[in-house]
Amino acid sequence: MTDLNEYECEMLDAMLEAFGIPDSLTRNQLLELFDNDEATAFAMVQVLIREGLIAESGKHGDFELPEKLILKLKGDKFLKAGGFTRRYQLEQEKPVEVGGTLAKLQQQNMRLQNEKLSNTSQIGDLQKAIQRLQNRQYYLWILIVIALIIGYLIGHLRK
């Protein structure tokens, strides 16, 4: 648990609270919670799945996030007991241990894997944006060359 900071704990609790009455969240609702930041939403979903608090439903399709997330009973009980924020506060009160246990190393490994997935997704999005901008630049150069040729021809024919 030590790999999550206070803000992330609050975000996870807010996400669990967002499930509401039908105890489910659609992909669009989830993206709305994270201002369409799919990488962050995916990382948070992975934490909740790893903790066994939610389940995935529906096909993933072209996206990393499932169509629907379902809040498990364990998740509801966890939230009522104070959620991640309470766990974080309790963790802060414990004395700091020197060295790392296997569980802590596994948690850190999981966090790093989630971060890698998030970064890989972000890199892909940025590469697509770069490609779109390069294509736009090529089209503009072609239009400029065509305009110059037309201008030359019009000027040459008027003589």
pLDDT of the residue at 60: 63
List of residues 6+ apart from 98 with CB closer than 8 A: none
List of residues 6+ apart from 15 with CB closer than 8 A: 25, 30, 33, 44, 48
Q: How far apart are CA 113 and CA 7, in angstroms?
A: 20
CA 7 to chain centre: 15
Domain locations along the chain: 6-158
Q: What is the pTM of this model?
A: 0.54
Exposure class string for 68-98: b at 16+ Cβ within 10 A, else e: bbbbbeebeebbeeebbbebbeeeeeeeeee
Count of residues in the chain: 159
54-57 sheet: strands from edge to edge: 24-26, 68-71, 54-57
CATH number 1.10.760 given to 6-158: no
pLDDT in tens, 92-123: 777 655 556 777 888 888 889 999 999 999 99
pLDDT of the residue at 74: 84
pLDDT of the residue at 103: 79
